[in-house]
Amino acid sequence: MTSTPLQFGITPPATCSYLAEQQEQLAVLMSPEPVDYQLYQQLIAYNFRRSGNQLYRPHCPSCNACQSLRIPVNGFQASAAQRRMLNKAERANWRYQLTAATVTAEEYHSLFALFNRYIEFKHADGSMYPATTEQLDSLIHSSWQPIRLLKLYQAEQLMAVSIIDELTNSYSAVYTFFAPEAANFSPGKLAVLYLLAEAKASERQFVYLGYQVDGCRKMAYKTEFRPHQRFFDGYWHSFA
């Protein structure tokens, strides 16, 4: 960790995004030091995540359900179901491309159109609806963090995008959105499998998938990637 003491602020209690019966609070980095991706790489190993240019971690007084989950790249073995998923996508002419997050105006228009369709499909009853360009901008832009886009195509049609933070020894999946008509291909899981393949090819140690919350059904897919590690009680614990 950095030798200069870091300063944090605590957000007021609010309704939890994952568990409706809980109140959430966040510890947000307020350090006067310039934030960079190297500091982020240190903090992500201690349960922190990035939102725009902010770094935060859960700091809930009565709950510790949010456990950062990461997959050791060299230890990962695809399950039979995951292999079937990859084979199904290959037969349907799916492919992926990892690119920089710098996009042209035309490319941005396509990204937002896909993002907007996904929010209407998945989150029409949530706080992200209706989709805005400000939401998408906060995902794909950062003044200090290198960001990549994992683009999933079926033939030449863009079907899904996963926003990826690129760190020296790892990738961190930030957010994935996809075309509603592609749902039967499980694009979110497919994106993780493609990212693991890319991480292995580039000799990275971990792929981070954000927080696992056992009581939240939408998070359950993350535990299907094994072996994985979860951070709680101050340490990383392995789940085989």
pLDDT reported for residue 37: 85
Q: How many CB atoms lie under 10 A from the CB of residue 38?
A: 12
Amino acid at the residue 162: S
Q: Which class does domain 71-210 fall in?
A: alpha beta
Mean pLDDT per 10-residue segment, the chain (240 residues):
79 92 94 82 94 92 94 97 98 97 95 98 89 95 94 97 96 98 98 98 97 92 97 95
pLDDT reported for residue 31: 77
Q: Are 179 and 214 in contact (CB under 8 A)?
A: no
pLDDT reported for residue 2: 52
> Angle 157-160-163 (CA atoms, 0-180°, nearest 5)?
135
* Half-sphere exposure (Cβ direction) of 209: Cα atoms closer than 13 Å: 27
Residue 39 main-chain phi, psi, to 5 deg: -65, -40
The ranges assigned to domains in the chain are 71-210
Q: Where are the alpha helices (DSSP H) in 62-104?
A: 80-91
Q: Tokens 């195509």 belong to which residue?
A: 153
pLDDT reported for residue 197: 98
Q: How many CB atoms lie under 10 A from the CB of residue 155?
A: 9
Q: Where are the alpha helices (DSSP H) in 133-186?
A: 133-140
Prediction pTM value: 0.94
Q: Are 187 and 152 in contact (CB under 8 A)?
A: yes
